[in-house]
Amino acid sequence: MDCQELCSRFDDRLDVAAYAGIDASENGLQVGPEERDVERVAFAVDAAVETIEGAAEAGADLLVVHHGLLWGGDGRVTDLRYRRIERLLDADMALYAVHLPLDGHQDLGNAAGLADVLDLGNRAPFGEIDGEYIGQRGRAREPFTVGELRELLSSELDTGGESVQVLDFGPDEIRDVAVVTGSGTDWIDEAAAKDVDALVTGEGKQQVYHRAREHGIHVFLAGHYATETFGVRALAGLAEEWDLETTFVEHPTSL
C-alpha cells in the first residue's frame, strides 16, 4: 500500500483533523516520503532509539507510534531527536505518530481499550478538551472493591513489574469509573462533576492526592506506558485488515 494512502486512512479513521488546534503533537506522517510502498508496519508506544531499532530489525517500512518526535512547533533536530531520526533514515523507515486522537477515539483508542479490560457498560466520552474528548467513562457490570480493581489492572496490564498505585479515598463499592490513559489526573474535577467513584489513569501529580481526598474519589495509577498500548494495537488490527504485515515492538517503561 502507498504510504500516503495508509496515513490518510489512519488520519480519517481517527479524525486527526479535529484535534489539530489542541494537540501539541504533530500528528500524521512525521518522517519519510509520502510516495513509497509499505508492506510491513511496526507499532510501538514511543518513538525511541530502542523501538526504532526493533522496528528496523523486523523489516518494517513504517513505524506507527503514540508518542512521536515532533511536538509544539519545536523544529530543532539535535541530540536525542537527531539520533532517533538518524536511525529512521539508516533503516529507510517512515514514522507516523498520533497522540490525542488515539487517546480519545471511542472505539480504537487507549481509553476504549482499557474500558474493555474493565468491562464497562453505559459508556460515554470523558476528558473534555475544547469540545473533544480523550477518555471514556462507564459503569461496572458488577461493583469492584479497591482490591479487585487493582488486581485486575495489575494482571491485565504490562506494568513492567511495578505495582498499581491507589489513592483510596472513594466509596467501598466502585461502580462508575472514568478512564483517561497516560497522564490523566488533570481531569479529576470532571470526574467529580460526573459523580464517578474512581478515575483510572497512568501516572499522577502531587496535587491529585489532595483533590482526590477532598472529592472522595479513588485514583488508580497503573502506569503511563501500561495504559497506552491499546490504541497502537488496535491500529495494527486495522493494518492487518488492509492486508499489511504487522509487528508490535514492546518496550515497557515501568512508569
Residues 72 and 164 placed together within one structural domain of the fold: no
What pLDDT does 75 receive? Answer: 72
Asked if residue 97 has pLDDT above 80, the reply is: yes
pLDDT in tens, 176-201: 999 999 999 999 999 999 999 999 99
Tell me, yes or no, whether 21 and 85 share the same domain: yes
Statement: residue 35 has pLDDT above 90: no
Show the domain range for 215.
103-227
Kind and range of the H or E run holding 228: none
Least confident interval from 76-85, 205-214, 218-227: 76-85
- State mean pLDDT over 237-251: 98
pLDDT at 163 (0 to 100): 93
Residue 34 banded pLDDT, cuts 50, 70, 90: confident
Distances (CA, A) of 179 to 35, 56, 126, 204, 228: 38, 33, 8, 13, 11
Specify if 237 maps to a domain. no
Could you tell me the CA-to-CA distances from 241 to 13, 155, 244 in Å, in that order?
14, 29, 7
As given in the structure block, the three cell numbers for residue 147 are 482490591
99 annotated to bind ligand = no
**Model confidence pLDDT, tens digit, residues 117-172:** 999 999 999 999 999 999 999 999 999 999 999 999 999 999 988 899 999 999 99
Q: How far apart are CA 137 and CA 114, in angstroms?
A: 11
pLDDT level of residue 72 (50, 70, 90 thresholds): confident
Looking at the 3D structure of the chain, how many domains does it have?
2
210 found inside a domain = yes
Q: What is the pLDDT of residue 2?
A: 95
pTM given for the model: 0.96
* 218 marked as binding residue: no
| CATH value at residue 43 | 3.40.1390.30
H runs (alpha helix) in the chain: 3-14, 49-57, 79-90, 100-104, 110-118, 146-156, 188-193, 206-215, 230-241
Domain shared by 72 and 186, yes or no = no
Cβ-based neighbour number of residue 213 at 10 Å: 14
> Are 183 and 168 in a shared domain?
yes
Do residues 94 and 192 share a domain?
no
Query: Are residues 111 and 92 part of one domain?
Result: no
76 pLDDT above the threshold of 90: no
What's the CA gap between 207 and 30, in Å, rounded? Answer: 34
The DSSP bridge pattern shows strands 218-221 and 165-167 to be antiparallel
224 annotated ligand binder: yes
Q: Are residues 116 and 186 in the same domain?
A: yes
